Structure 1
């Protein structure tokens, strides 16, 4: 049965060491003169003999390979352990062979010996094919389980060249380890060699390959559904019937790439063919629909699963609860939670967290706190995630006192804040304008060893800019770069916006090269902010230059950009160019808004082209865009200038009907109209009416307009499309009072029409 290598120790008696001790004095002195190393070798092989006779694992374990090497030398130890391995291999004792080979491999690895020669060292005198094959299979498993995949593949190749028929289990184990380690090339090669030379792949082999392609662990980070489908088709071709696990993995892969309907069709086909299904197949589809924001479809699949006799598990319910809560239907989430209890399914901490998040998203913080207490009452220990949900909820609501209390409770429960906790608190304090407290947590976060994310840094930078602390904002941007945190366009947008507000557009423009140097490309928002900044500084030439540069670098303007430029051009008297831009904006598929129309109408009114101004106004109304007080004021001013008081009357009447409140500029324009009509006595009455309402007339910088002056000076409507707002005092006044004022003004302007207005005629 055994080879000549392992037969030598059989010449020695198993109790040889005892006989040495009991020999006469002559034998002892002869033994003392023998080489000490030979004596030690005899001791080792006496253990081998005992193991051969008894297969006693306890006896084998008395000899550890590293200690044996120290005591008996490497060569003798390897020979002895090789005999141990063969003894247990021939007896097909897997665990014992595995343990012995692992000791040898670990020693080789620690001593940095040539591992590639180990297989040949173990097989230099094989006992028989069966024992050797058993040894090779075990060695492959040892290499693979210790992540020595290159050595495992080499052992596989050597065994194949020698002619051993390896076992499917060891090959599948190696295949699984290669898949888990993302070794795509080696995995595919081994799979092909198994198909070509054996052992031929079985159901488990194909399931490993299916899992590899469907899990995204194929070196690309995404699911390779095409290869997964090929695996399924190959199985059907060769007659291997996929198991429920194989189908579950494939269904999950389909859902991961968004083919949820196809996954559902497959499940329904399997159901029609009476193939086995489980809740894992359905859960993948339920999750797919829920994650896509379609919880109602997910619910339909859930009901189909239950109607098919497959019981839902905690994951099924948790997925649905999360889906409904994320879409704002917390009531449905709570209903499903109650159903879980009725079905004796114990909710997990994830289930509770989903309910908490749903309640917090809907601003139901008191109910959220009650649910939070319910988690503790259910026997779960609070974790950071549960606290963070509540802290974030309170921060979003601006209730920073409650958020702070939860943080203190979290610390008392020996739970340290994590980056999510700090981020929520920093964003919350920035939101309510408490920059000092936000900075406190920002510094605490860094002291705790957490690197803030770009979003957190951006909010602090926004806070600095809001407070006008530009130096601090720029310093933080430099620190971000030093820490390896890349500033993005939102980071620079805050600084650019603040500089432009402070009328330092040239300084803001200097940030563009800095951004490009950091591989951050300015967005349309940043260019629009700069263009608007130069426009406010009465530098239209620079604004238009930036627009040209913006087009050259391939940045498409949006409706805001066009509106700014339209206002710049029309204010500068270049109404024709402004109108061309307006038409270009529409041709690019951008819909003009209230500000865009008002900008263009204001331009035509300035140039007294009331036909086009009126045409745009009608187009604006037909597009269901409600004109603002600024829009009406521009038109009233324009028609006053061309003496078409009938149109002024109609516009004032329409303001009254649409409950649009006049502002100080509207009053000033109407007063000016009264002057032009010669109603000098009516104008002071209107002025007194304004003062009683708390609205002061328009001031040009040199004092109020002299209402008795007869110069034909234009009244500036003061239109700025980006500063359009409603006077708070005016908004708080009763609409009945506004209506009375408008009716009174209407009577004044109706007293005398200079000439009727015909929109079809040129003015």
Structure 2
């Protein structure tokens, strides 16, 4: 009775404060929320408490219960109903209410509050409250599948739960609880509620992004067969699913084509994203000519296209080596009124530079300047690579120096490209200087970056520098890869420091660094060269102990070492073993 009076007073207060245009909304609150709170929602005023155990959602947990009455939750519900103030609803988190009032009373209270906000169309508030409950269930190991029945309003007024379950589906999907979200969709349909297509699209998109092939197709078929009817966004999500492929499944261009046909037959209009996904799919399966014809047809019919549609085809032709065809696509792009972007030029410049056609690359750079398109550091890197390949080191240096002036930031790759150019040109001093500059500018953060430095110094013959970089790598806790280790081991051997190489070999193995046959071969080769083939042979059992299978390169080194010592018996024995192992390996394959 007290609750009824509170609600009635709240309604009178709200009506007096609203101007006439808002009173229809007030009537909605009065009728819908009034019935929500008085007709169907019932609190157990004298609950039975179990002191040692709580059973919720079929899960038994030892949780201390505080003997309170459900009536303590009524004031909160009343405040929310009267004010629709979200701050009031968020005075206390769901978990805190459970600690002080128990789960059953807390979920009843929050269910009413959630439905109040849902009836008022306040979806964001509903989302926040439901997320709070879902997070509590996850942390407390409650069965979140049971939330559907716990949040159901009334069997006599199912329509009032529609918004709540649409939002609950989104909460589950956004938390990567995709089975739970799908379960909400199925249960809602079972009780006669049809979910909103936008909520279904959100779930479908999440399923695609998580590569849940087992759910994507059945869910889409269910939407087609029994609703809600798919819209253009639903079809576009499925188009993306079939065209991008993923772990465990390939691009299915036949299915994608069927989707495009369904869009046309349903009278809906494909978006630019729909066409982009389909064109990407065609390019991935190698149907570049088909994609180009399609884009020409779409352009003629004034259909929506963007640079991504054209770039996919340009890239496909460049990968195939058909650069001239890629230029045709670029020209068609301009004629269609789609302005090429930095990526369009980046693809072409990279392809031209790899072919050594620096002149055309520079023409494209001038064209970019006319269109006021700022080159990226990737474009500069491709140009430097092309210039180095042609031996035009002075031009490459000019381009490198101009990167900073253009407003781009230097990255690790552009340094590595120019350093490789200096190494190919035999300019060790410039390469070393640039390597040191790279370290000073803190452009070495990863295993790959350190490996590049080690390789650079190794190729330049500066073994001490390579060892120094390797030690910095270990000091900073960056685990070296096999290639970096092999360069260092080779460096020690070339520098005549065999004992240090052997010691490092053991340390690397003890620390779990993966080594291969070439790691051991560097030391074997040096031992054999210094006329110690017997010591080199001792490395074979050590390799096997470390689960590294000796390869042909190891046996060849040992055979050559013993042959030079005129120990033909050992040479023949090792050759026979090598042939036998190769035969066994071949049979095993």
Aligned to 2:250: 224
Aligned to 1:760: none
2:38 corresponds to 1:12: no
2:141 corresponds to 1:112: yes
Given the superposition, is the C-alpha separation of residues 541 and 69 from structure 1 closer, same or farther in structure 2, using an over 3 Å criterion? Answer: closer
Given the superposition, is the C-alpha separation of residues 469 and 174 from structure 1 closer, same or farther in structure 2, using an over 3 Å criterion? Answer: same
2:128 corresponds to 1:99: yes
Given the superposition, is the C-alpha separation of residues 309 and 398 from structure 1 closer, same or farther in structure 2, using an over 3 Å criterion? Answer: same
Q: Deviations over 1:653-698 (max 9, x none)?
A: xxxxxxxxxxxxxxxxxxxxxxxxxxxxxxxxxxxxxxxxxxxxxx
Superposition deviation, residue 312 in structure 1: 1.2
Q: Deviations over 1:368-397 (max 9, x none)?
A: 343333222223343444444444544555
CA distance in 1 between partners of 2:461 and 2:442 (Å): 30
Aligned to 2:15: none
Aligned to 1:179: 208
CA distance in 2 between partners of 1:402 and 1:524 (Å): 38
Describe how 1:16-35 pairs up with structure 2 within 5 A: none
User: Mind listing any 5+ residue stretches in structure 2 that lack a counterpart?
Assistant: 11-66, 585-589
For the Cα contact (< 8 Å) 2:381–2:414, is it kept in 1?
yes
139-148 or 480-489: bigger deviation: 480-489
CA distance in 1 between partners of 2:419 and 2:292 (Å): 39
Aligned to 1:122: 151
For the Cα contact (< 8 Å) 1:503–1:537, is it kept in 2?
yes
Given the superposition, is the C-alpha separation of residues 427 and 49 from structure 1 closer, same or farther in structure 2, using an over 3 Å criterion? Answer: closer
SS in 2 for 1:188: helix
Aligned to 1:446: 474
2:74 corresponds to 1:46: no
User: Mind listing any 5+ residue stretches in structure 1 that lack a counterpart?
Assistant: 1-6, 17-34, 557-763
CA distance in 1 between partners of 2:145 and 2:545 (Å): 50
2:344 corresponds to 1:350: no
Note the aligned Cα RMSD (angstroms): 3.5
Aligned to 1:189: 218
Aligned pair partner of 2:354 in 326, 343, 367:
326
Aligned to 1:626: none
Superposition deviation, residue 65 in structure 1: 3.8
For the Cα contact (< 8 Å) 1:88–1:96, is it kept in 2?
yes
For the Cα contact (< 8 Å) 1:14–1:50, is it kept in 2?
no
2:175 corresponds to 1:146: yes
Given the superposition, is the C-alpha separation of residues 379 and 281 from structure 1 closer, same or farther in structure 2, using an over 3 Å criterion? Answer: same
Superposition deviation, residue 135 in structure 1: 1.2
Superposition deviation, residue 515 in structure 1: 4.5
Aligned pair partner of 2:279 in 238, 243, 251:
251
Superposition deviation, residue 136 in structure 1: 0.8
Aligned to 2:241: 212
Q: Deviations over 1:201-256 (max 9, x none)?
A: 33322332332344343x33xx612x343232244157256543233223323434
Superposition deviation, residue 273 in structure 1: 6.7
- TM-score after normalising by structure 2: 0.77
Superposition deviation, residue 14 in structure 1: 6.5
- TM-score after normalising by structure 1: 0.61
CA distance in 2 between partners of 1:244 and 1:151 (Å): 32
CA distance in 1 between partners of 2:166 and 2:389 (Å): 56
Aligned to 1:82: 111
SS in 1 for 2:338: coil
Aligned pair partner of 1:236 in 237, 242, 261:
261
Describe how 1:400-411 pairs up with structure 2 within 5 A: 401-406=429-434, 409-410=437-438
Given the superposition, is the C-alpha separation of residues 455 and 49 from structure 1 closer, same or farther in structure 2, using an over 3 Å criterion? Answer: closer
For the Cα contact (< 8 Å) 1:523–1:555, is it kept in 2?
no
Aligned to 1:463: 491
2:307 corresponds to 1:279: yes
CA distance in 1 between partners of 2:8 and 2:510 (Å): 72
For the Cα contact (< 8 Å) 1:232–1:242, is it kept in 2?
no
Given the superposition, is the C-alpha separation of residues 454 and 254 from structure 1 closer, same or farther in structure 2, using an over 3 Å criterion? Answer: farther
Superposition deviation, residue 532 in structure 1: 3.6
CA distance in 2 between partners of 1:412 and 1:486 (Å): 30
Given the superposition, is the C-alpha separation of residues 555 and 365 from structure 1 closer, same or farther in structure 2, using an over 3 Å criterion? Answer: farther
Given the superposition, is the C-alpha separation of residues 169 and 535 from structure 1 closer, same or farther in structure 2, using an over 3 Å criterion? Answer: same
Given the superposition, is the C-alpha separation of residues 69 and 532 from structure 1 closer, same or farther in structure 2, using an over 3 Å criterion? Answer: closer
User: How many residue pairs were aligned?
Assistant: 525
For the Cα contact (< 8 Å) 1:527–1:550, is it kept in 2?
yes
2:485 corresponds to 1:485: no
For the Cα contact (< 8 Å) 1:398–1:431, is it kept in 2?
no
Given the superposition, is the C-alpha separation of residues 336 and 414 from structure 1 closer, same or farther in structure 2, using an over 3 Å criterion? Answer: same
Q: Deviations over 1:548-587 (max 9, x none)?
A: 444444469xxxxxxxxxxxxxxxxxxxxxxxxxxxxxxx
2:337 corresponds to 1:337: no
Given the superposition, is the C-alpha separation of residues 285 and 500 from structure 1 closer, same or farther in structure 2, using an over 3 Å criterion? Answer: farther
CA distance in 1 between partners of 2:92 and 2:483 (Å): 60
For the Cα contact (< 8 Å) 1:168–1:200, is it kept in 2?
yes
Q: Deviations over 1:281-301 (max 9, x none)?
A: 221122223344554443333
Given the superposition, is the C-alpha separation of residues 58 and 503 from structure 1 closer, same or farther in structure 2, using an over 3 Å criterion? Answer: closer
SS in 2 for 1:462: helix
Aligned to 1:21: none
For the Cα contact (< 8 Å) 1:356–1:371, is it kept in 2?
yes
For the Cα contact (< 8 Å) 1:462–1:494, is it kept in 2?
yes
